[in-house]
Amino acid sequence: MTYQKSHEIYLDYAATSPMDPKVLSAMTEVLAQEFGNPSSVTHAFGWRAKAKIDEARASVAECLQAKPEEIIFTSGATESNNLAILGVAHACKARSQSIVTLKTEHKATLAAVDHLRQEGYSVRLLGVDAAGRVKMDEFEAALKTSPSLVSVMMVNNETGVVQDLPVLLEKAKAAGAFFHVDAAQAMGKIPVDLSALPIDLLSISAHKVYGPKGVGALYLRSRPKVPLRPLLFGGSQERSLRPGTLATHQIVGLAKALELASTSLAQDLAHVNLLSQELLGRLALLPKIQVNGFAAKRVPHILNVRFSGVDAEALLASLPQLAVSMGSACTSGTTEASHVLSAMGLSDEEANASLRFSFGRFTALADIRTAADAVVEAVAQLRALSPIWELA
Amino acid sequence: MSLPLSPVLAKSFQDLRFRGWNFSPSYWVQAGSRSEGRLIELAVLLPHEKIEAIGFKAFGDAYTIGILSWVCSQVFGQTWDSLSKLSLPAMVGELQIPSHKVSAAVLIEECIQKLMEKKTCVKTKN
């Protein structure tokens, strides 16, 4: 299946991934044939839809090495993160009003903890080292506040840096905190085995792993029970923790995407490793480039590269055929550097000189070669134009 | 993220004619700074009252480079006075510059002003 026009090269898989045709097929079948409400208990239309939901739930649980009753379907990782963070914080309010997370988390987490801060909670945003790993001394000090919840993302969405979850989990557990993991960029990309990593809550999304947008899940450990307050009210679906009519086709799509990712994990990993090496090898023809987070353990499908002396937005404009992301965002007249790269100690100029390349199952090696050559040419051209590069 | 550029600006950004210069400029000015994220240089060859050559160097975003390139294309081969017609509203309107990127055009207007002042100063001294 071709998802892009012949001249376009999509290297923004960390933003979203194209849907696997097998996922589309599974969803189409449900959309066409199973329109029943899975909560309708009085007729076969509802029963059949519920059977699809049950099957999907069991499949998602199996991918995580979890139990089906530990899966709550949501609209995606943003909702899962909000439900986990606000839900646990509110449920544990009498015991503790302290929450711990990292400065490099996704905005879905940072905005949720900011909301808690406005409610009067004490929020500790921990720093990271130059490679993007949490500063262990800050982590240990924060645990002394007896937080109800620690929230850490498994794979950073901008840099691909992988946090050392087993170590962090052990320390958080010893401090009596519940442990939430945003695994949106990890699920289906690297092994996630909850029988080996006994975290309490885990957020996942379908569209990052070749599934549809608008669906995700929150894993909620059943034993020991994790207290959780819902964000929404109005129905008994998902044990009243996430009420609302379940979108059968979306949930089937999520399950199919995760099933495919599980079965092809080794193959996908080998493929993106090859792509990563090829891209980096070609970009290395340029002097003064650096991979942000290079010294840390990283996933191969995300590569955040800094091109000294170049503004990433100008570089993007030079590469209209490439779909990649910048490490910055424009807001009200100024270019705001990425909060992730800033937390890693990069200056605004360095952060604004960074591009994120991310790729996946459907990225061809030839596309990587074409993209890398185009980037090398564009960077050289912009540097030739730059009075700063002359000074370097 | 502020891309995509307007068609005119995108075309100007891709226009390589005026990038850098290999002539000995009659006047050369600089505006902005590295710490601001925009540093630009503009050079003109003006043996008489006609701009016979013009070139720029720039470190900055796509708007900075695109607007500078467009300015050069507008005044190349024209009389010196053509520079004074490139007002900020003219640049913003012609290139459809979004409000959060007007600062790039402001810097370029500042650069043009410096250039004009420099010429005036030199003329006065003469």
pLDDT for res B4: 77
Given a cut of 70, the residues of chain A with pLDDT beneath it are: 1-6, 327-335, 390-392
**Cα–Cα distance, A206 to A27 (Å, whole number):** 13
**Cα–Cα distance, A27 to A34 (Å, whole number):** 10
Is the bond into B25 cis (omega within 30 degrees of 0)? Answer: no
| Predicted TM-score of the model (pTM) | 0.93
**Contact across the interface for B57 and A317, Cβ inside 8 Å:** no
**Contact across the interface for A330 and B41, Cβ inside 8 Å:** no
**Contact across the interface for A331 and B100, Cβ inside 8 Å:** yes
A42 exposure class (CB count in 10 Å sphere: 0-12, 13-18, 19+): exposed
- Indicate if the alpha-carbon torsion angle A208, A209, A211, A217 is positive or negative: negative
Q: Which of A333, A335, A384 sits opposite B20 (nearest CB)?
A: A384
pLDDT for res A331: 44
> What was the ipTM of the complex prediction?
0.90
pLDDT for res A207: 98
Q: Which of A314, A332, A387 sits opposite B62 (nearest CB)?
A: A314
pLDDT for res B119: 74
Q: How many CA atoms lie within 13 A of A28 on its CB side?
A: 7
**Contact across the interface for A331 and B20, Cβ inside 8 Å:** no
Contacts of B4 in chain A (CB under 8 A): 320
**Contact across the interface for A330 and B100, Cβ inside 8 Å:** yes
The tokens for B55 are 């070139």
Taking the alpha carbons at both ends of chain B, their separation in whole angstroms is: 48
Q: Decide if B21 touches A, using CB distance below 8 A.
A: no
Q: Which of A326, A387, A388 sits opposite B1 (nearest CB)?
A: A326
Confidence of residue B94 (pLDDT cuts 50, 70, 90): very high
Confidence of residue B125 (pLDDT cuts 50, 70, 90): very low
Tell me if residue A237 falls in helix, strand or coil. helix
pLDDT for res A289: 96
Would residue B60 be called left, alpha or beta, if left means φ above 0 and alpha means ψ between -120 and 50 degrees?
Answer: left
pLDDT for res A333: 45
Tell me if residue A329 falls in helix, strand or coil. strand
Q: What is the pLDDT of residues A56-99, one digit of tens each?
A: 999 999 999 999 999 999 999 999 999 999 999 999 999 999 99
Question: Catalytic positions of A, please?
Answer: 330
The average confidence (pLDDT) of chain B is: 90
Q: Decide if B116 touches A, using CB distance below 8 A.
A: no
**Contact across the interface for B13 and A349, Cβ inside 8 Å:** no
Q: Best mutation site among A315, A322, A330 for testing chain B: the one with the most B CBs within 10 Å?
A: A330
**Cα–Cα distance, A127 to A218 (Å, whole number):** 26
Shortest CA gap B126–chain A (Å): 31
Phi, psi dihedral angles at A362 (to 5 degrees): -100, 5
pLDDT for res A24: 98
Q: Best mutation site among B14, B28, B59, B97 for testing chain A: the one with the most A CBs within 10 Å?
A: B59
Strand A354-358 to A302-307 pairing: antiparallel
In this structure, are residues A361 and A271 in contact, taking their beta carbons and an 8 Å threshold?
Answer: yes
Q: Best mutation site among B61, B68, B103 for testing chain A: the one with the most A CBs within 10 Å?
A: B61
Q: Decide if B66 touches A, using CB distance below 8 A.
A: yes
The tokens for A363 are 């990225």
pLDDT for res A390: 66
**Cα–Cα distance, A286 to A276 (Å, whole number):** 16
Query: All domains of chain A, ordered by start, with CATH?
Result: 9-19+265-391 (3.90.1150.10), 21-263 (3.40.640.10)
**Cα–Cα distance, A123 to A105 (Å, whole number):** 13
Q: Which of B1, B66, B102 sits opposite A330 (nearest CB)?
A: B1
Tell me if residue A23 falls in helix, strand or coil. helix
**Cα–Cα distance, A130 to A103 (Å, whole number):** 13
Q: Residue B117 contacts by C-beta under 8 Å, 6 or more apart in sequence? A: none
Which residues, listed in sequence order, are joined to residue B27 by a DSSP beta bridge? B44
